[in-house]
Amino acid sequence: MTSNDISFPIDTSRRIHIIIDVLNDFISGTMVCHHAKEAISKITERINTHPYEEVRYVCDAHPSQHISFIEHGGQWPTHCIKHSFGQQIDLSFYTCINQPSCRPRISENVFEKGCCPDCEEYSGFNAMGTQGKTLGETLYRGQPVLVSGIATEFCVLETVKDLLQNGFQVEVLQDGLAYVTLDGHRQALTLMRELGVRII
């Protein structure tokens, strides 16, 4: 039996769908990832066919001098500069049942990470919402969580690891993933299975 065969009860009425970095730069901009457009289609389909699932959107929101950028000693092209077009969530999500919202008096579901110029931040667990709570602080310990988004071997994987370490039951929507390299994607999926994540 593999860890992916481990059965645990899922209370679907309490499931939270965490969507990582479905941003223009990763779909059609400066850091296009493989399978991005297909992943967007599958994620939006999931949202619209599971309206009872709450949705949280995690977004890179980098300052222009971020440490991860090549010109500042990092490994990545400049991407997802806060308030730029490349940092915006793909427009298709604004036609979904549970669309992104940061507006006052409406349930906040957008959380930003990578905001500190001197810190690399792949995981979305501590991403900050506009109402002063991190993503993790909006979740209940033990709550079932579904994760999808970009990129499998970086931000998705690190978010999943933090969720597991904090006591959450985690599933990953495989068709709703985009990735930097196919090998990295496959290795990340293998690791997640070994950690007890259910890949659906």
CATH number at residue 151: 3.40.50.850
Per DSSP bridges, beta strands 144-150 and 16-20 are parallel
Please indicate, yes or no, if residue 2 is contained in any of the structural domains. Answer: no
Report the domain count for the chain: 1
Please indicate, yes or no, if residue 145 is contained in any of the structural domains. Answer: yes
Please indicate, yes or no, if residue 173 is contained in any of the structural domains. Answer: yes
Please indicate, yes or no, if residue 6 is contained in any of the structural domains. Answer: no
The average pLDDT across 53-63 equals 95
Please indicate, yes or no, if residue 152 is contained in any of the structural domains. Answer: yes
The average pLDDT across 113-123 equals 95
Please indicate, yes or no, if residue 167 is contained in any of the structural domains. Answer: yes
Contact 123, 170 (CB under 8 A): no
Determine whether 83 is exposed, middle or buried from the number of CB atoms within 10 Å of its CB (0-12, 13-18, 19+). Answer: exposed
pLDDT in tens, 2-32: 334 344 445 555 799 999 999 999 999 999 9
Contact 16, 140 (CB under 8 A): no
Please indicate, yes or no, if residue 1 is contained in any of the structural domains. Answer: no
Q: What integer pLDDT is reported at residue 12 of this predicted model?
A: 56
Please indicate, yes or no, if residue 34 is contained in any of the structural domains. Answer: yes
Q: CA 185 to CA 190: how far, in whole Å?
A: 9
Domain limits at 86? 15-199
Q: What is the mean pLDDT of the chain?
A: 91
SS3 per-residue string spanning 38-77: HHHHHHHHHHHHCCCCEEEEEEECECCCCCCEHHHCCCEC
